[in-house]
Structure formats: C-alpha cells, structure tokens
C-alpha cells in the first residue's frame, strides 16, 4: 500500500516494475465479468448470432489497436498514470476535468455501482435476505465497501483476486452455454432473427462502449510494467480477448433462451440464469466475478479523485466505493444500455487528444502544459463529442476518437503557431 501511495503521481522507476502478467491479470479480471455477458446479450437485441459475434470480435480488435495499445505504451514509456499524462493535452486543471473526471471518476464509479448491484442480486437469488428491500440495501452497501479492500491495498492484491476469477469464469460460462443449448440447439441459434434489424456498426459501438473505460485508463496499470511493445501486446491480448470472447459467446447463447424463459431484456443475464435454474453455486460464483471488475473501477477512480482534490489515494478509493454502493442501491443497472451509449460518446475524444499530443505533436515526449486550461484539448473533446453524438452512419466511438484527434492536431498547431508569433520580438 505504501508503494502505491508513494507513486500515485510519480514516475515508476525501473526497479519497481512488474511482469506483464500482472496487468494482463487485472484486465482479464475486468473482462471476466457478467457485464460482458450482458453486453453480448444486448447485441442479440438487434443482430443475428453471427453478426453479434462479428461485432464483438471487431470491437475488441478496435479497442486493443486504437485505445489499449497506444495509451498503454504511453503509460509504460512515461511511467505516469492517466491523470498526470492528461496535463500534456489539457493543462493542469483541464486534465482534472477531462481525464480524471470524464474518462475515469464518473464512469468508473457508475461501473462500480452496476457491478455491485448485479453481484448482490445474484447472491439474493440463492440466499434469502432478511428485511426485504431494506435488508437488500444494507447488504449492497456492506459488500460495496468490502469489494474495495483489495484496490485500497494495491495492484498486487488485485492480480491475486483476478487469478481466482479465471477458472470461476470458465465454469460458469461453459455450464450456461450447455443449458442454453439444451433449450435452443445450434440450429435455432444460427437461424435466430432479432427483434430489431440494427446495423453491424451499432453492435461494434456497443461492444467498444462496454470496455472503453478500462482501455482508456490503461496507463494506470502499464506504468507498472517494462516499456516493451511485446509486454503491452501480451498484456492486452491476454487481458481483453479470452474472457471477453468466452463470456460473450455464453451471453449470446443464453440471451437466445430469454424469450422462451419469459425474460424481456436479453441483456439481463442474471435473470436468464435464474430462469435456467442454474445451481446456487453458479450464482454465488457470479458474485465472485463481479468483485474482479469492482476492484479495477475502484482503483482507478481513487487515483482520479486524488488527482482532482489531492490527499490520500486509499481514502478516495473508499469514497468511490461508498458512492458506487449508493448508486447500486438506487438501481443504476436499469440504465445499463443508456450508460454504454453515453460513455461511447464522451470518452473517445479525450483519448484521441492525448494520443495525438504524445505521438504526433510532442513526438513521444511528455510535455505537460503550463496553462491551467489548454484550449485545444477542451475544444477537441467538445466538438469530438458532438460529432460522435450525431453520428448515425459510422461507429460513434471511433468517430469521437478520430474527430477529437484531428481537431486537436489542427487547433493545437494553430494555437502554438499563434503563441510563437506573439513571442517574436517586434
């Protein structure tokens, strides 16, 4: 814990770096969670089984190549977290708004609430909770706080929790696929016609939105590993693909049984599992899986709030858990798909500005801006967000990334040229 606190905003020295497997395990745990099943189930609302599978794979490839790797490489090269790195594109105060608040604190705390609510509901489907709704609310708050203990300690304890989650995830999904196939069969799955006929780009955007938060604060974790393209690639491939694909397949198969089981929302995998009469142990294991994502959200939101307000990372990790637990009690999971759509609009332009500044303007050097607010960065995320919001043709998340990057490049170039002209002696 002392090491985590000491380097919360400092460069991680080479002798403190860890093996890429630690980062890969953290991200494996982040994706080995029922929300990935929920997202895949949501894809089946508007796509066929094969198109849902294609959308999932393309979305993962885009997440890795456009977000995880370039941002992860910056973290490993510079050795700083996302919120300090943001100063190169947004200024000291601007970074607090753009990276700490928009890219991390708000979505991470919301994710924490969603994951906690799912976990307790899964547990409540197996164990009778005394006290009715009040008992559920109290239990949700208690577990919401307990989930935050590993990230309060640090990244090593988080990796250990995620290693436990790997076999747990495989057991649940394989069993769920088996039950789903027993009801539907491969023929019905391959010939499935969705309730709505939506585009493949819609599905890709949903898949990207499900994991984009974690891919945009990846520097929080890659700063702890060696500056090696190989290590970052291995961490990303191991962390993003195996669990996502396996859980996604499980979510799709189980979602196809939702109509037969009387479940209206295809993404509500916990309800589907209850209707499938999955044994209590499986639902308890779901409870364990939610923990693995909660810890990632709490860790990064703690770092973000420390950047915003100063003080102790441990305290802000706990505060994030408290706020997330309150959101869980209020039923935030009911707004799951709307939440995915929102973060797919807000976050990509921020990532685009940081990537463009580091690779194309500063030429792979960390150059924090002295201004409180660096206008090119703020302008790029505002315009990029609007362009993403109004995109009805392409993938909104990618539109936000590309438009934010291009706007940042041109506005920053003009801004810097103007400053240089003003500095020329008359």
Handedness of CA 209, 28, 172, 178 (dihedral sign): positive
Q: CA 150 to CA 292: how far, in whole Å?
A: 10
Q: Which CATH superfamily is domain 2-334 in?
A: Hydantoin permease (1.10.4160.10)
Mean pLDDT score across all residues of the chain: 85
Query: Looking at residue 425, what is its pLDDT?
Result: 52
Query: Looking at residue 142, what is its pLDDT?
Result: 93
Query: Looking at residue 161, what is its pLDDT?
Result: 59
Q: CA 424 to CA 54: how far, in whole Å?
A: 55
**Joined tokens for residue 318:** 């706990």
Q: CA 58 to CA 124: how far, in whole Å?
A: 36
Share of the chain above pLDDT 70, in %: 88
The alpha carbon of 384 is separated from its chain's Cα centroid by a whole number of angstroms, namely: 20
Q: Which residue has the higher pLDDT, 338 or 271?
A: 338
Q: Which of the four pLDDT bands, split at 50, 70 and 90, describes residue 70?
A: very high
In this predicted structure, the answer to whether residue 122 has a pLDDT above a threshold of 60 is yes
Q: Which residue has the higher pLDDT, 7 or 20?
A: 20
Contacts of 308 (CB under 8 A, 6+ apart): 96, 100, 101, 105
Helix (H, G, I), strand (E, B), or coil: what is residue 228?
coil
Q: CA 119 to CA 143: how far, in whole Å?
A: 9
* 220 close to 75: Cβ distance less than 8 angstroms: yes
209 CB-side CA count, 13 A: 28
Query: Looking at residue 266, what is its pLDDT?
Result: 66
**Joined tokens for residue 271:** 């309800």
Contacts of 171 (CB under 8 A, 6+ apart): 282, 285
Contacts of 365 (CB under 8 A, 6+ apart): 358
Nearest to 168 by CA among 32, 267, 37, 40: 32
Q: CA 196 to CA 14: how far, in whole Å?
A: 52
Q: CA 111 to CA 118: how far, in whole Å?
A: 11
In this structure, of 67-76, 126-135, 373-382, the range with the lowest mean pLDDT score is 126-135
């Amino acid at each position: 814990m002392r090491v985590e606190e000491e380097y919360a905003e400092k460069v991680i020295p080479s002798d403190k770096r860890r093996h890429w497997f630690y980062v890969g395990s953290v991200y494996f745990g982040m994706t080995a969670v029922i929300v990935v099943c929920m997202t895949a189930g949501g894809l089946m609302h508007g796509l066929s089984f094969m198109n849902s599978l294609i959308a999932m794979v393309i979305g993962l490839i885009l997440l890795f190549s456009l977000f995880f790797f370039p941002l992860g490489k910056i973290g490993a090269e510079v050795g700083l977290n996302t919120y300090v790195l943001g100063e190169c594109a947004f200024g000291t105060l601007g970074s607090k708004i753009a990276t700490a608040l928009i890219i991390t604190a708000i979505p991470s705390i919301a994710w924490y609430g969603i994951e906690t609510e799912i976990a307790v509901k899964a547990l409540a489907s197996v164990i009778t909770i005394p006290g009715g709704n009040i008992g559920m609310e109290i239990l949700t708050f208690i577990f919401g706080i307990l989930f935050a203990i590993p990230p309060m300690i640090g990244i090593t304890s988080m990796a250990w929790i995620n290693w436990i989650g790997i076999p747990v995830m495989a057991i649940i999904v394989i069993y769920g696929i088996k039950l789903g196939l027993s009801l539907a069969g491969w023929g019905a799955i391959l010939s499935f016609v969705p309730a709505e006929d939506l585009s493949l780009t819609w599905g890709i955007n949903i898949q990207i939105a499900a994991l984009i938060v974690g891919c945009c604060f990846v520097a929080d974790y890659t700063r702890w590993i060696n500056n090696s393209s190989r290590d970052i690639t291995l961490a990303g491939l191991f962390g993003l693909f195996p669990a996502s694909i396996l859980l996604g397949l499980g979510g799709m198969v189980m979602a196809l049984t939702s109509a037969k089981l009387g479940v209206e929302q295809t993404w509500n995998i916990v309800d589907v599992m209850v209707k499938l009469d999955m044994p209590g142990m499986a639902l308890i294991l779901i409870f364990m899986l939610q923990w693995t994502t909660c810890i990632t959200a709490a860790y990064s939101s703690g770092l973000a709030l420390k950047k915003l307000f100063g003080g102790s990372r441990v305290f802000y990790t706990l505060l994030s858990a408290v706020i997330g637990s309150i959101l869980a009690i209020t039923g935030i999971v009911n707004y799951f798909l709307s939440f995915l759509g929102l973060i797919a609009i807000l976050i990509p332009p921020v990532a685009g500005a940081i990537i463009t500044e580091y690779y194309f303007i500063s030429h792979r050097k960390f150059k924090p801006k002295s201004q409180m607010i660096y206008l090119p960065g703020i302008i790029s995320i505002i315009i990029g967000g609007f362009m993403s919001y109004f995109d009805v043709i392409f993938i909104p998340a990618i539109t936000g990334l590309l438009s934010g990057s291009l706007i940042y490049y041109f506005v920053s170039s003009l801004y810097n040229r103007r400053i240089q002209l003003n500095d020329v002696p008359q």
